[in-house]
Structure 1
């Protein structure tokens, strides 16, 4: 085997230009496939990050009426939906797909929100429990977090996010200042910021409207303070943090199933319609998968087109190996006259074809990686080099050499030694 490889390399080096031109189809095909697969992988990762976030693995389970989340700014509290209990939350946390979860209430359309005499527009207020910040990945950048007593003792304290601090206090410290929520004064004790700084990639106007946050900032208050401002019996929403990204769908569905035990099916008086409110989980992972499938199916056509060059390269290998057999007819005849068997001649030429295409495959891999980097820089498209694609490409190039080198090798092995020695 090693002797065959040495002879193959010797033959390739003795005809450098011819060998390179023979490998060119293999090089172009492998490079194109590596570049396309790397672009697909990078695009899929971008889709997943844009829809899901970067490493957060959280899924929202909210009370919905049909396809829309229930906003209690405009809706009365439904009589058939109970407040989520601590026991129910514990059941969610015990799910194998769930790392942690948090319960919260929210308002996004609040008119009576002021700092001094200045109205705070488009801020979102959250009534949170003690697991909210850890589940969502928030850190306290300034001031302090809520204490256990403040969650339960109606302390009228608030934490704001860094966006609201910049917009409302214009660089001044917010700690100790008071904001007025529905006529109740709340003292700001901390400023929260996301631990994972993630910004989605915006490539179009549609992306902007999909990912852009229109809120001027966030205000967090302890969950028990919610009843002073709004209503004590408002049902909560839930956010579950999955153990990993792939578990998000199951974590959301199982959490929704548990929460829906709190929903009693009732019929409207005098009507046959059933109350349609229920807890639903976000289908972000399914959306990401649908977009990834669309991207992959589109690009798979490009892979097939690139594979044509591999076929052309294989035909080129077959052609040059047939030429090589013709050129070395006397050598083959001499080896057979000295006792070389068909198997030995066949192995020699198959090895030469495999070595030729393997070298072309390796050059194609490095060319594909370089092409991927160039595409990423020029077209601003993310790429992720696939190690599996590299391994498959090199193995496939060897298979191409063996398959297309088989006919010339069989021809060489079947030469009559007497006719071969007489060949001019």
Structure 2
């Protein structure tokens, strides 16, 4: 086999231009497949990141109108009957579920909370009633001031924490720490400003992307101690739950498990149930749509591999004709059919394998060019690279088989007489 490979390289080097032109179809086919697969993989990762966001693997379980179209139920609509508060025992059961890293129950109002400072007003921003477990679970870190301390919660202190956007909206660059804002006629002292501990930003390639993600990136949030919540809004409001899981792919299953657990205590008869926001399922639907379209491109690109294989067969038939006397001489001195067969099969496989390697390099370079020119993400697929090289070798064996059999079956006397 080593001798056959050495002879193959000698033959390829002796006809450099012809060998390169023969490999060109393989190079183009493999390069096309590598670049398309890398673009598909990059696009799918972009879809997942844009929907899931920061990558902190947090899924939220909240109440939904299951009988009226599965849209979220908000406490601005009133407190639903039969939905109990989440107890410490329930939170313990949630934390005991597989793949759960941390969890936090919280209250939330989305629309009817307004905050005032001087002439500045912040209206309609998401407002949360939390303890410190919420910040760690959802990936917030303190930027200024402090988080809540036990006395804030135990003594019902009127304190508040803002995120960066809320602080900018109310204080216009002024240091908010120690300042007082007002909500529902209650004065609240700002004790801290928080920010998400990730610098993730969604990839924006169109106006549609911009409008989808702009609001979420620019939204404000205000955090109150959960013990203070009833004084500003209402008593006995059911909470939502944020759960951080150990890895992204577990978000759907863990979210469903938590929702099922909470619904075992839910006796609401109007179709108000707990459900997890399934961003992974949304991502999968978009990825399936992307794959269905792009896989057609892969099949089209594969046609060039077929053309390249035909080119290999053609050049190997020419090579057999050119080397007829050489084959006859080898047979005359005792070379078996199998030896001749494997020599030409090896040469065809080496030729296409070289084309596959060059095609992989070209495909990676092409994918990077597409990424820069079209502003689309790419993720180089190692399985696609391995597949490209192995598949090119298989093409060499398949399309080199007929010429190799022809060479092996030559009559040595007729071969020696060939001019």
Structure 1 and Structure 2 fold alike (TM over 0.5): yes
Summarize deviations over 1:190-240 as a string: whole Å, max 9, x none.
110000122212223332332222665211011111011111200001111
Question: Is 212-221 or 142-151 further displaced after alignment?
Answer: 212-221
Q: Tell me what 2:250 maps to.
A: 247
8 Å Cα contact 1:178-1:185 kept in structure 2: yes
**Secondary structure of residue in 2 paired with 1:47:** helix
**Secondary structure of residue in 1 paired with 2:7:** helix
Q: Tell me what 2:298 maps to.
A: 303
Structure 1 residues 411 and 216: CA distance shift in structure 2, 3 A: closer
Q: Which runs of 5+ in 1 are unaligned?
A: 267-274
Report the Cα offset of residue 111 of structure 1.
5.3
CA distance in 2, matches of 1:290, 1:70: 24
Q: Tell me what 2:123 maps to.
A: 121
Report the Cα offset of residue 242 of structure 1.
1.5
8 Å Cα contact 2:101-2:243 kept in structure 1: yes
Q: Tell me what 2:222 maps to.
A: 219
Q: Tell me what 1:346 maps to.
A: 341
Q: Tell me what 1:83 maps to.
A: 85
Report the Cα offset of residue 116 of structure 1.
2.7
**In the TM superposition, what are the counterparts of 1:242-391 in structure 2 within 5 Å?**
242-266=245-269, 275-391=270-386
- The normalised TM-score by structure 1 is 0.95
8 Å Cα contact 2:121-2:170 kept in structure 1: no
Summarize deviations over 1:268-316 as a string: whole Å, max 9, x none.
xxxxxxx110111112101100111111111110000000000000010
Q: Tell me what 1:131 maps to.
A: 133
Q: Tell me what 2:31 maps to.
A: 31
CA distance in 2, matches of 1:117, 1:173: 16
8 Å Cα contact 1:151-1:223 kept in structure 2: yes
Compute the RMSD of aligned alpha carbons.
Answer: 1.3
1:405 paired residue among 397, 400, 403: 400
**Secondary structure of residue in 2 paired with 1:381:** coil
Question: Is 96-105 or 137-146 further displaced after alignment?
Answer: 96-105
Structure 1 residues 59 and 44: CA distance shift in structure 2, 3 A: same
Q: Tell me what 1:196 maps to.
A: 198
CA distance in 1, matches of 2:47, 2:369: 21
Summarize deviations over 1:47-74 as a string: whole Å, max 9, x none.
000011132111111111232222222x
Structure 1 residues 288 and 223: CA distance shift in structure 2, 3 A: same
8 Å Cα contact 2:132-2:147 kept in structure 1: no
**In the TM superposition, what are the counterparts of 1:44-123 in structure 2 within 5 Å?**
44-66=44-66, 67-73=70-76, 75-110=77-112, 112-123=114-125
Report the Cα offset of residue 158 of structure 1.
0.9
Summarize deviations over 1:87-143 as a string: whole Å, max 9, x none.
111111111132111111111223542113432233321101221111110100111
Question: Is 105-114 or 383-392 further displaced after alignment?
Answer: 105-114
Summarize deviations over 1:1-50 as a string: whole Å, max 9, x none.
11111111111011011001100100000000000000000000000000
8 Å Cα contact 2:33-2:298 kept in structure 1: yes
Runs of 4+ in 1 over 6 A off after TM superposition: none
CA distance in 1, matches of 2:147, 2:402: 76
Q: Tell me what 2:8 maps to.
A: 8
CA distance in 1, matches of 2:383, 2:54: 24
CA distance in 2, matches of 1:117, 1:374: 52
**Secondary structure of residue in 1 paired with 2:132:** coil
Q: Tell me what 1:146 maps to.
A: 148
**Secondary structure of residue in 1 paired with 2:111:** coil
Report the Cα offset of residue 265 of structure 1.
4.0
1:232 paired residue among 227, 231, 235: 235
Q: Tell me what 1:269 maps to.
A: none
Q: Tell me what 1:423 maps to.
A: 418
8 Å Cα contact 2:161-2:191 kept in structure 1: yes
Report the Cα offset of residue 151 of structure 1.
2.4
Structure 1 residues 132 and 107: CA distance shift in structure 2, 3 A: same
CA distance in 1, matches of 2:287, 2:81: 41
Q: Tell me what 2:42 maps to.
A: 42
CA distance in 2, matches of 1:333, 1:138: 79
